[in-house]
A and B are shown apart, each in its own frame.
Chain A
Amino acid sequence: MIVLVFGGRAQGKTEYLRKRFSLAPQDIAAQIGAQKAIVHLEKLVRQEGAASILAKLEQRFAAGDCFLCCDEVGMGIVPTDAAERRYRDEVGALLCALAQRADRVVRVFAGIGQVLK
């Protein structure tokens, strides 16, 4: 099962994942590895871009249940800086692909999960 959680900053997304799916702190990492939950995908996008992350996650999905967490970005004025514009588009491309791929998609608002899928 693949679960995708996103929402604005500081909305309690990781906490939501932890409680809802009974995850321990050691199950959660900010990198793509053996841990069940991978948080802060938006930071990975800054480091290596959406395509690379998608390819790595595809391999990770074969290893079993995966809980993904990402900041929702792109709900503001389009930035004047080209790299910032690209970053928002990259996060969007990653999350559109993952939302289609995931079994469950939840948007967290003030700690409350809204199930979108």
Chain B
Amino acid sequence: MIALFSGGSGSGKSAMAEAFAVRVSQESGRGLYYLATMRASGAEGAARVAKHRRQRAGKGFLTVECPSRLPCGIAGGTVLLECLSNRLANAMFGDGERDPVVRILAEIDALAASNDLIVVTNEVFSDGGAYDAATCAYIENLGKLNRALAERAALVIESVYSLPIVHKGVWR
């Protein structure tokens, strides 16, 4: 099962996805894994990581730091990938991966084959800003990933300031 959670900055999507992952895990009895993709730099990055750690503390997540390639050895778990937008940014701007969309989709398919996979992504598509070619390519690639994930997902939720809009599936 794949579930996709999206939303803008500060929309509460992470908290919503975490709560959902905990519920899924409690129902299935499958352990919780948290795939942390952020490559934190500077005080602001450290503060953001600390905020997310506080938010999920005590919920039973086993955190796996994976700013580059996603681990393929996890099976029979409830896996929360936080988040697709950082994974893509690292692949494009940090690691210079060729064909990042194909690579990331292959990782996701491998994980989803033997786990319940909950993916957090990001809405970066609606500010109408004029950006350089690299940023435009990033927007295109994240759009492709979001669409491919939404097609595979049983549940697609947009978090709007902590309230869910259900784009696909049944939210309970």
**A-side interface residues toward B, CB under 8 Å?**
6, 8, 72-78, 82, 85, 88-93, 95-96, 98-100, 105, 107, 116-117
Bound-state CA distance A105–B10 (Å) is 17
Bound-state CA distance A117–B138 (Å) is 34
Q: Which of B8, B123, B138 has the most CB of A within 10 A?
A: B8
Question: Does B124 lie within 8 Å of A6, measured CB to CB?
Answer: no
Indicate whether B165 reaches chain A with its CB closer than 8 angstroms: yes
**Least distance between B38 CB and chain A CB atoms (Å):** 12
Bound-state CA distance A81–B9 (Å) is 14
Interface string of B107-138 (1 = CB under 8 A from A): 00000000000000001111111010001001
Question: Does B8 lie within 8 Å of A74, measured CB to CB?
Answer: yes
Known contacts A92-B9, A96-B12; A76/B163 CB under 8 A: no
Beyond contacts A76-B125, A92-B161: 18 other A-B pairs, Cβ-Cβ < 8 A, are A6-B161, A72-B160, A74-B9, A75-B125, A77-B127, A78-B9, A88-B9, A93-B10, A95-B161, A96-B11, A96-B12, A96-B161, A96-B162, A98-B161, A99-B162, A99-B163, A116-B160, A116-B165
From A76, A82, A107, A116, B124 is in contact (CB under 8 Å) with A76
Residues from chain A with a CB closer than 8 A to the CB of B12 are 92, 96
From B127, B161, B165, A99 is in contact (CB under 8 Å) with B161
Residues from chain A with a CB closer than 8 A to the CB of B27 are none
Question: Does A74 lie within 8 Å of B11, measured CB to CB?
Answer: yes
**Least distance between B86 CB and chain A CB atoms (Å):** 10
**B-side interface residues toward A, CB under 8 Å?**
8-12, 44, 123-129, 131, 135, 138-139, 160-163, 165
Chain A, Cβ-Cβ closest to B165: A116
Q: Which 3 A-B pairs have the closest CB atoms?
A: A92-B10, A76-B127, A74-B8
Residues from chain A with a CB closer than 8 A to the CB of B126 are 8, 75-76
Question: Does B163 lie within 8 Å of A92, measured CB to CB?
Answer: no
Chain B, Cβ-Cβ closest to A80: B135
Q: Which of B9, B11, B135, B165 has the most CB of A within 10 A?
A: B9
Bound-state CA distance A95–B159 (Å) is 12
Bound-state CA distance A115–B138 (Å) is 32
Question: Does B10 lie within 8 Å of A88, measured CB to CB?
Answer: yes
Chain B, Cβ-Cβ closest to A6: B161
Chain A, Cβ-Cβ closest to B89: A78
Residues from chain B with a CB closer than 8 A to the CB of A96 are 10-12, 161-162
